[in-house]
Amino acid sequence: MRIFFTLSISLLLTYTGFSQSGKPASDRPAVRFYPNPAVTQITFDFPKVVSRSYTFQVFNFLGKKVHEQKDLQPKTTIDLSEYYRGIYIFQLRDNTGKIIDTGRFQVVK
């Protein structure tokens, strides 16, 4: 019964457009990135509401931080020559450490 209740709440929140942070999906900044899957480099476009005090981090699928960038520019390109093939997770954090946006991309070689 508890599992049914948890799944129902998750489905309801997803259906109504709310993210895990509790904010409507349209209210949080969306980081655009391309190409996905990537081979040699990947470009991230940050929305205008992103402050330069935000931090951008990339983790491999095992949870090891492989890239961190502070003092963000509106467009950032990451060279993937040192990255292995696989799935990577990115996080955009504000100056208090709260996750503003997260996503994943794939590296293929």
Name the residue range of residue 43's domain.
Answer: 31-107
The model's pLDDT over 6-50, given as tens digits with 9 standing for 90+, comes to: 444 444 443 333 344 444 455 556 899 999 999 999 999 998 878
Q: Are residues 36 and 17 part of one domain? A: no
| pTM (two decimals) | 0.72
- Please list, in sequence order, all residues whose beta carbon lies within 8 angstroms of the beta carbon of residue 30, skipping any fewer than 6 positions away: 47, 101
- CATH code of the domain in which 53 resides: 2.60.40.10
